[in-house]
Amino acid sequence: MDTLKRPEINAIIAQAFTQTNDAIGIFDPDDVVIYNNDPFAEIFGIDPAKIVGNSFVELITHCFNTKSGINVESDELAPWLKVALSKRRSSPFRSFETDTVDGRWYRITQLLVDDYLFMYATDITNSKNIEFELINTQKRLEELASTDFMTGIYNRRHFNRLAETELERCERNQLHASLVLIDIDFFKRINDKFGHAAGDAVLIELTQRIKSALRSYDIFARIGGEEFALLLPETTTDDAVKIAARYQEKISGTPFIFEKQQILVTASIGISESYPAIKTLDYILKSADENLYIAKQTGRNKIVCPPE
C-alpha cells in the first residue's frame, strides 16, 4: 500500500473540512480569521466568502448589530466582549457551549497552536433540546410533588418542609414567626347545596383572594380539604391578627359567584406564634389548631390567637 505524501494528506484534510457539517475556523495570532468552512460562517451569521480577514471582535460586533449568529445576551456589547476576550486565549484547550439567535446550540472546542487559534464547533441542538425537555419535565414533576393539584399552592408536605426551614432561620436570628390556620365554615353545606364543582370553585377563588394579599416571603398552603395554612415570618401575634383580619374580609366581604349563583363564605382562623422560645412546627401547628377549634366552637367566622 502506497504511503500518502504530505501534500496529498493536506488535500484530504482540506476536503474533509469542506465537506463536514461541523464548523471549523482558524484565527491568526492577531485573532483574525485566516480559514473557515461554510458551517463556521453560519455561526456568526455571515457570508462564508466574506468571513476571512475579519477579527473575532468584528464578527461578534456583526452578530450584535444584526441580531444574527451567536446570541449576545446583553444590552451592551463592550462588557460582553470584555468577558469573552478574557476567556478566549486563557488556556491551550477550552471547550464550552453557546447558542445562536435562531435557536441552535453548539459545542465549541478551541485549541491554541503556536498562537493560532483552531476552533471546532459541533451542532448539539437536538441533544440540547432533549436536555431542556428533561429539565422541564423534572421541574414539572417537582411542582406536582410540592403543590396542591386543585389550587396550585403548596401542599401540606412541602409546606412542612419550607416552614421548618423558615422557623430554623427565625430561631437563629431571634425573630418572631406566626402561623395562621384558615378553615372554611360549613364547607360541606356549600357542597351539598351548590354541588362539588361549586365547592371546588370556592377553594380556587379563596386561594386567589388570599394570594393577592401575601407578602413575597409568606408560605401559603392547602393542608386539608377546606383548611389552609400560612406561615408569616418576622410577624408578631398582633400583626398576624391584623393580617388574618384582612384575609377574613377578603373571604367574607364579597360573595363567591358560581354559575350566576352567589355563595356566601366565611372562615374561622386560629393563630399561634413561635417567639420568644421558638417552638417546633408540630407544636405551633397544634397550638394554632387548638385556637381554630375554639373559633369553630364559639360561633365561627372569628379569629382566635394565643392568650397574652
Mean pLDDT per 10-residue interval, the chain, length 308 residues = 65 76 94 95 93 96 95 94 94 95 95 94 94 88 86 94 92 90 96 95 96 92 96 93 94 94 96 76 92 95 86
pTM of the model: 0.61
Q: Give, in degrees to the nearest 5, the angle at Cα 110 between 88 and 6.
A: 135
Angle between helices 125-146 and 156-172 (to 10 degrees): 80
Residue 142 lies in a domain: no
- In the prediction, which pLDDT does 140 show? 82
- In the prediction, which pLDDT does 276 show? 63
User: Which of 99, 128, 157 finishes a domain?
Assistant: 128
CB burial of 106-120 (b: ≥16 within 10 Å; e: otherwise) equals bbbebebeeeebebb
Catalytic site includes residue 76:
no
103 and 18 in a common domain? yes
Catalytic residue of the set 42, 166, 226, 227: 226
CA-wise closest residue to 274 among 170, 201, 125: 170
Structurally, the chain folds into a number of domains equal to 2
Residue 135 lies in a domain: no
- In the prediction, which pLDDT does 1 show? 43
Domain enclosing residue 66, as ranges = 6-128
Q: What is the grid cell recorded at 25? A: 475556523
Tell the burial category of 186 from Cβ atoms under 10 Å away from its Cβ (0-12, 13-18, 19+).
middle
79 and 42 in a common domain? yes
Which CATH number does the domain housing residue 113 bear? 3.30.450.20
